[in-house]
């Protein structure tokens, strides 16, 4: 994982090598997204009002700003779009699971 987040990228010599590096990063992202989805689902169960109804835009803004400090090339506007998609996907999964549990 460390080499994945090291900003001093080694020189990439070919398209195949570049795509292999992207595949490795995307595999790590997928694992992190799966973990995030699981934990965000637990958060929905802990909140007095979970799911889309309990959406907290202030917390989402904090998440984006913290990420923007670590990803300056993307910046807050693009990260907000990315994280909106990630957060909404997590809420959808949580709501689907809740519906399956409630039998509704
Ligand atoms: O922190 C919360 O309150 C959550 O519900 C988690 C989460 C997230 O996925 O990070 C999801 C929805 C909220 O709008 C904000 C953040």
CA of 25 to the centre of ligand 1 (A): 24
Q: Report pLDDT digits (tens) over 71-102.
A: 999 999 999 999 999 999 999 999 999 999 99
Q: Ligand 1 pocket test: which of 85, 91, 98 has the largest number of ligand atoms within 8 Å of its C-beta?
A: 91
The burial class, CB within 10 Å (0-12 / 13-18 / 19+), for 46 is exposed
Dist CA 51 CA 29 (whole Å): 23
Model confidence band, residue 6 (pLDDT cutoffs 50, 70, 90): low
Supply angle C-alpha 93, 75, 80, rounded to 5: 25
CA of 47 to the centre of ligand 1 (A): 10
Query: Under 8 Å CB-to-CB from 75, ≥6 apart: which residues?
Result: 68
């Amino acid at each position: 994982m460390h080499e994945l987040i090291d900003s001093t990228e080694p020189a990439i010599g070919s398209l195949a090598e570049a795509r292999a590096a992207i595949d490795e990063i995307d595999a790590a992202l997928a694992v992190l997204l799966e973990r995030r989805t699981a934990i965000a689902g637990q958060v929905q169960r802990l909140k007095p009002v979970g799911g889309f109804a309990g959406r907290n835009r202030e917390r989402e803004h904090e998440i984006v700003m913290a990420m923007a400090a670590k990803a300056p090339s993307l910046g807050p506007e693009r990260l907000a779009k990315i994280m909106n998609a990630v957060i909404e996907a997590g809420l959808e999964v949580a709501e689907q699971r809740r519906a399956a549990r409630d039998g509704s």
